[in-house]
Amino acid sequence: MLNEPTVVAVSIEDHRVVAVGEEARVMLGRTPGTIVASRPMRDGVIADYAVTEAMLRYFIQRVVGRAFLFKPEVMICVPAGCTQVERRAVLDATLSAGARHAYLIDEPLAAAIGAQVPIAQASGNMIVDIGGGAAEAAVISLGGVVVHKSVRVAGNKVDEAITSYIRKTHNLIIGEQTAEMIKIKIGSATPLEQEEKLSVKGRDHVSGLPQTITVTSTEVTGVIQRPLLQIIGAVKGVLEQVPPELASDIIDKGIVLTGGTSLMRNFDLLMTEETGVPCHVAEDPMLAVVKGTGVALENLHLYKRSIKGK
């Protein structure tokens, strides 16, 4: 229906929303002084309530139409580790944005449903969902989350690590979008057999003039190790708490990776190496959570134990 990034551009003078989604993402780092483009959702939770509400209203109107007669039912994913206050803020923002009923589902559960993992059986399934703001590892059995751990380290922190490294090592200041491009084009969780290079443009930190440098895949691999190992640390934390019966199921089935950051080259290999448990990336990992949310919303009676509503 709609696939947009959670970015909003707001006018400073009258606090009017200028652009939302992809249109606003293009503006990141390129706006004049009168407009601010920002991400109102940080680390998987609401950082700016008013802007988040405006963004949700825009998305609902885009899908339902501006003059909607019937308010829609909306289901939103939240990190399994977020607090009751954060959950209530999401429900309130969704209802204020024009929803008739709002439901919350834990992200690992939605990811498992979307990745077509049989979660209703009395058998352990481990899912690791790594998005932009947070990474979540959870073991699911009998349709519920048994053990979970979340860290607010994911794709955005990987981008920040690249930005920081290039500023310190090459004296070059680059923006969010350039850092993301470096990650996608030459980023790898383990060293590549054939080293790759990429020309990067930015502003020189010393002279303040535009400059171009060359970055190698080996450099990027070294830089992103820290945030990736923090994510793997959360996975290890869950594996340490899993009941022994479920641990044997996980060794047989392996760990399923979902979310955009799981698409990073060789991340599944690094996780297998670090945990000793086979890992594989789900089919269409970017959309696993949203597909699972759709299935849960259509079958509320089946998942009612795992859903909070208002």
Architecture of domain 116-153+230-286: 2-Layer Sandwich (3.30)
Q: Which residues pair with 74 in a beta bridge?
A: 102
Please check whether the two domains, 1-70 and 116-153+230-286, share a CATH topology: yes
Q: Which class for 200: exposed (0-12), middle (13-18), buried (19 or more C-beta within 10 A)?
A: buried
Dihedral sign of CA atoms 61, 3, 90, 52 in order:
negative
Closest listed residue to residue 285, CA positions, set 141, 154, 103: 154
- Determine contact, residues 185/127, Cβ cutoff 8 Å: no
pTM: 0.85
- Determine contact, residues 242/204, Cβ cutoff 8 Å: no
What does pLDDT average to in each consecutive run of 10 residues of the chain (310 residues)? 85 85 85 85 81 87 77 87 88 90 90 89 90 88 88 91 94 92 93 93 92 94 94 93 91 92 92 93 91 90 77
Give Cβ neighbours of residue 15 (< 8 Å, ≥ 6 apart). 50
What confidence score (pLDDT) does residue 68 get?
Answer: 67
Closest listed residue to residue 235, CA positions, set 295, 200, 278, 192: 278
Question: Tokens representing 15?
Answer: 């606090």
Closest listed residue to residue 224, CA positions, set 256, 252, 192, 259: 192
Closest listed residue to residue 259, CA positions, set 115, 89, 80: 115
Q: How many CB atoms lie within 10 A of CB 218?
A: 15
Instruction: Provide the residue ranges of all domains of the chain, joining segments of one domain with +.
Output: 1-70, 116-153+230-286, 155-223
Question: Tokens representing 181?
Answer: 């491009």
User: Would residue 75 be called left, alpha or beta, if left means φ above 0 and alpha means ψ between -120 and 50 degrees?
Assistant: beta
What fold does the segment set 1-70 form as a domain? Nucleotidyltransferase; domain 5 (3.30.420)
- Determine contact, residues 278/255, Cβ cutoff 8 Å: yes
What confidence score (pLDDT) does residue 211 get?
Answer: 94
- Determine contact, residues 138/246, Cβ cutoff 8 Å: no
CA atoms of 87 and 108, how far apart (whole Å): 15
CA atoms of 267 and 270, how far apart (whole Å): 5
What confidence score (pLDDT) does residue 273 get?
Answer: 94
What confidence score (pLDDT) does residue 223 get?
Answer: 94
Summarised one tens digit per residue, pLDDT across range 230-249 is: 999 999 999 999 998 899 99
What confidence score (pLDDT) does residue 133 get?
Answer: 82
What fold does the segment set 155-223 form as a domain? Actin; Chain A, domain 4 (3.90.640)
